[in-house]
Amino acid sequence: MSRKKKYRGTVEEDNIDELPESFWENAEPGHIFLPKILGKENAEKLMSGKVGRPRALDPKQPVKLRLDSDVLAFLRSTGKGWQTRVNKALRELMEKGAL
């Protein structure tokens, strides 16, 4: 199982101009300028530290499951999302009372 590598660009410091003193004289703290450009609600959300995907009310649980190698190979061969499809199939069997 491989993880995607995050792109990390490079910056050549020699190519970056220094900010003039006037920039710092006119700079405003984030809690003042963010609402101006993002709107009050979005700025509050950003500054609250609660950004990103909301937590699930009933999160999935990681499990260790032993499967026959040919079964696992077949499931993986169905492509991305195979674990979600297995979960759905098991749920359907459970709801039918077939397990």
The DSSP letter of residue 59 is: -
Walk along the chain (99 residues) and give the pLDDT tens digit of each residue: 556 666 666 666 667 788 888 888 888 888 899 999 999 998 888 888 776 788 888 999 999 999 999 999 999 999 999 999 999 999 999 999 998
Residue 18 is predicted with a pLDDT of 83
Residue 39 is predicted with a pLDDT of 93
Quick check: helix, strand or coil at residue 80? coil
Question: How distant, in Å, are the alpha carbons of 2, 8, 49 from that of 5?
Answer: 9, 9, 24
